[in-house]
């Protein structure tokens, strides 16, 4: 049965924009053509003057659920995602308990499902003690890929990934290192899933550790060399076995150069950067303060410009958010004590549309947030494009409305963020998840109907 007909919009299909109607049958796109007649009983949405775009897939979010309900949960995360036109989120495994086994993944999926307003996928965790069997079981349970946090140790007592290794926890497991990657990359390659890394070399970070009084201290404590060395070493390991090495949150021109060298010599490497690295620089700290404290840090204008150029040129194919909320109280602490991380999922599409528009090619936005991510997560047969046979995850963008980001409109628990006060020159009008409205006229609609996605094997 035809559920929905979206008429007369500018439809961003795989080959660029066309004026067309989009017909949806049983939650799946059935036709994309001009002049379709409305079938009986179908809801008709007039999209004249609007852009019709594929729903975004944010491959890098932190739901904090289970573990830190005061910071975020699947309900608040996916409400924010829906409002921003993100119809699928891929949640990182450093929730508590960390997702290091099939059993934990399954219980996390069961907890997420009733709260999820958008579809979700779950990353599995690589620990230094992880075995091939554990990774195989995680893949069988539906993990979208594996994440290794270089330099982040693991508390076996608290079942938690720890950002800082110098703790007096007696049951601390060593962080995953290049040995871990070399040992586990071949089985991950055989599973056909990506291996994502938090790319900051721990030895370089430890050599440059210092008190953080100013923003310049943070840049000196976490230099671009740390990112470049981690990418370079991991890429050498990945080239041998052909695994898809995925660099999360690329932040520096130096890291980009090293990644490009590796790609030229045949490494199966994908790059992800985030709106905060494409929009902001160290110059914004005076205005934003701890709201822009993230790891790796937001660097110089030259780094930002290099990343924008690489995204415009298709070297970076994925823009994700590293959505990592804390409470507003935690972020209001002094610079050194304030936790790193910032919410972002609600602004992902808007910020990419505004940047794409500035670069003179709107179709870059759906490529960065939908097509590239679908390929990474092996969801490219069902999501990431507006074409017959794909899930009807659709966003209607109003190019005549602007959106001024204010804390009061944020659906995440952390309401203050790095984009407060930014005026994006687009609006998200309606959002559909598998043909069902989850946002109408800029307001949440319907109930939580998200499902877990699994990569094609
Ligand atoms: Zn992250």
Using the mean position of ligand 1's atoms as its centre, give its distance from the Cα of residue 439 in Å: 26
Listing from the earlier edge strand, what are the strands of the sheet with 119-122?
Answer: 56-61, 86-91, 119-122
Write out residues in the chain with pLDDT < 70, as ranges.
Answer: 1-2, 165-167
Using the mean position of ligand 1's atoms as its centre, give its distance from the Cα of residue 244 in Å: 18
What are the φ/ψ torsions at residue 433 (nearest 5 degrees)?
A: -110, 115
Using the mean position of ligand 1's atoms as its centre, give its distance from the Cα of residue 61 in Å: 6
Coil, helix or strand at residue 125: strand
Q: What local confidence, expressed as pLDDT, does residue 163 receive?
A: 84
pLDDT in tens, 375-424: 999 999 999 999 999 999 999 999 999 999 999 999 999 999 999 999 99
Using the mean position of ligand 1's atoms as its centre, give its distance from the Cα of residue 403 in Å: 26
CA distances from 326 to 10, 150, 160, 323, 393 (A): 38, 22, 16, 10, 29
Look at residues 241, 255, 281 and name the one whose alpha carbon lies nearest to residue 201: 255
Q: Could you list the beta-strand ranges (E) of 180-244.
A: 195-198
End-to-end CA distance of the chain: 29
Q: What local confidence, expressed as pLDDT, does residue 64 receive?
A: 97
Using the mean position of ligand 1's atoms as its centre, give its distance from the Cα of residue 8 in Å: 38
Using the mean position of ligand 1's atoms as its centre, give its distance from the Cα of residue 63 in Å: 10
Using the mean position of ligand 1's atoms as its centre, give its distance from the Cα of residue 175 in Å: 16
Q: Is the dihedral of CA 357, 362, 366, 371 positive or negative?
A: negative
Cα separation, 11 vs 165, whole angstroms: 49
Which residues make up the environment of ion ligand 1, defined by Cβ < 5 Å? 322
Using the mean position of ligand 1's atoms as its centre, give its distance from the Cα of residue 59 in Å: 10
Q: What local confidence, expressed as pLDDT, does residue 377 receive?
A: 98
Instruction: Supply the pTM of this predicted model.
Output: 0.98
Using the mean position of ligand 1's atoms as its centre, give its distance from the Cα of residue 181 in Å: 18
| Residue 166, C-beta contacts closer than 8 angstroms, at least 6 positions apart | none
Would you state the structure tokens that stand for residue 81, as one six-digit string? 């995602």
Q: What local confidence, expressed as pLDDT, does residue 164 receive?
A: 72
Using the mean position of ligand 1's atoms as its centre, give its distance from the Cα of residue 324 in Å: 7
Using the mean position of ligand 1's atoms as its centre, give its distance from the Cα of residue 216 in Å: 22
Cα separation, 441 vs 432, whole angstroms: 12
Q: What local confidence, expressed as pLDDT, does residue 165 receive?
A: 61
Using the mean position of ligand 1's atoms as its centre, give its distance from the Cα of residue 322 in Å: 5
């Amino acid at each position: 049965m035809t559920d929905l007909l979206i008429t007369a919009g500018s439809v961003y299909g795989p080959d660029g924009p066309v004026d067309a109607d989009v017909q949806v049958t049983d939650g799946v796109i059935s036709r994309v053509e001009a002049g379709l007649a409305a079938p009986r009983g179908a809801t008709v949405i007039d999209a004249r003057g609007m852009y019709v775009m594929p729903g975004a897939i944010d491959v890098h979010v932190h739901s904090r659920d289970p573990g830190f309900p005061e910071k975020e949960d699947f309900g608040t995360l996916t409400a924010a995602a829906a409002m921003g036109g993100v119809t699928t989120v891929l949640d990182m495994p450093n929730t508590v308990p960390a997702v290091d086994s099939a059993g934990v993944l399954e219980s996390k999926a069961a907890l997420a499902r009733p709260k999820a307003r958008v579809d979700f996928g779950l990353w599995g965790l690589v620990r230094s003690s992880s075995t091939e069997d554990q990774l195989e079981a995680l893949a069988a349970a539906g993990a979208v890929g594996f994440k290794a946090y270089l330099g982040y140790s693991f508390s076996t007592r608290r079942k938690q990934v720890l950002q800082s290794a110098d703790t007096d926890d007696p049951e601390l497991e060593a962080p995953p290192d290049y040995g871990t990657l070399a040992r586990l990359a071949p089985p991950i390659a055989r599973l056909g899933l990506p291996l994502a890394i938090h790319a900051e070399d721990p030895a370089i970070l430890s050599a440059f550790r210092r008190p953080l009084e100013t923003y310049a201290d943070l840049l000196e404590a976490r230099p671009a060399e740390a990112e470049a060395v981690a990418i370079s070493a991991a890429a050498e390991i990945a080239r041998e076995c052909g695994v898809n090495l995925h660099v999360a949150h690329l932040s520096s021109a130096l890291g980009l150069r090293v990644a490009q060298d590796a790609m030229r010599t045949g490494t199966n490497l994908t790059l992800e950067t985030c709106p905060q690295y494409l929009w902001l620089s160290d110059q914004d700290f005076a205005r934003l303060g701890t709201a822009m404290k993230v790891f790796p840090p937001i660097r110089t204008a030259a780094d930002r410009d290099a990343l924008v150029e690489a995204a415009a040129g298709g070297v970076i194919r994925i823009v994700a958010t590293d959505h990592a909320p804390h409470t507003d109280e935690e972020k209001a602490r002094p610079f050194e004590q304030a936790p790193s991380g910032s919410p972002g999922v609600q602004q992902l599409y808007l910020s990419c549309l505004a940047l794409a528009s500035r670069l003179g090619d709107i179709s870059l936005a759906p490529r960065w947030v939908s097509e590239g991510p679908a390929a990474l997560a092996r969801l490219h047969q069902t999501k990431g494009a507006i074409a017959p046979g794909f899930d009807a995850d659709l966003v209607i963008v109003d190019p005549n409305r602007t959106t001024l980001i204010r804390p009061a409109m944020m659906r995440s628990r952390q309401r203050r963020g790095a984009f407060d006060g930014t005026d994006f020159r687009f609006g998200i009008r309606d959002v559909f998840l598998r043909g069902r409205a989850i946002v109408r006229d800029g307001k949440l609609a319907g109930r939580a109907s998200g499902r877990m996605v699994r990569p094609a094997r």
